[in-house]
């Protein structure tokens, strides 16, 4: 079985002695500076990520960054997360194509009947 973001997160939580999603969420929230908009990291979000029910949309997700800071991950781990999330995006795209689901040709807000 290949590693997924969910298995990566669960493994790091065990390695760093986080025995609950709530504890990790509290530490992640505490990692924020005092300036700027507060980002709430919920235990439910971490639970969903850990169980593979959902995942961050990208490696740039602010909640993900806080969780990874709380887990004190290495630069190698950051690269691995980016790779894992990228593989998931590719897998979803391939599955969509296999089922005949395609992206619209025209961006939102641009009518295919637009006058030129």
Cα 14 from Cα 18, distance rounded (Å): 6
Sign, Cα dihedral of 18, 51, 75, 68: negative
Residues 1-11: pLDDT tens digits?
578 999 999 99
Residues 21-79: pLDDT tens digits?
999 999 999 998 777 788 999 999 999 999 999 999 889 999 999 999 999 999 999 99
Identify which of 88, 46, 51, 35 has the alpha carbon closest to the alpha carbon of residue 71.
Answer: 46
12 in Cβ contact with 71 (< 8 Å):
yes
* pLDDT confidence tier of residue 94, bands split at 50, 70 and 90: low
Would you state the pLDDT for residue 98? 65
Q: Coil, helix or strand for 81?
A: helix
Would you state the pLDDT for residue 115? 46
Cα 65 from Cα 78, distance rounded (Å): 9
Judge whether residue 90 has pLDDT over 60.
no
Tokens of 52: 């593979």
């Amino acid at each position: 079985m290949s590693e997924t973001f969910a298995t990566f997160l669960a493994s790091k939580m065990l390695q760093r002695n986080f025995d609950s999603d709530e504890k990790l969420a509290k530490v992640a929230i505490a990692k924020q500076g005092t300036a700027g908009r507060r980002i709430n990291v919920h235990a439910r979000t971490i639970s969903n990520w850990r169980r593979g029910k959902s995942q961050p949309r990208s490696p740039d997700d602010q909640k993900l960054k806080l969780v990874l800071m709380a887990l004190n991950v290495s630069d190698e781990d950051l690269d691995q997360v980016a790779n894992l999330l990228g593989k998931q995006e590719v897998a979803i795209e391939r599955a969509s194509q296999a089922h005949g689901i395609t992206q619209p040709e025209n961006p939102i807000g641009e009518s295919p009947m637009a006058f030129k």
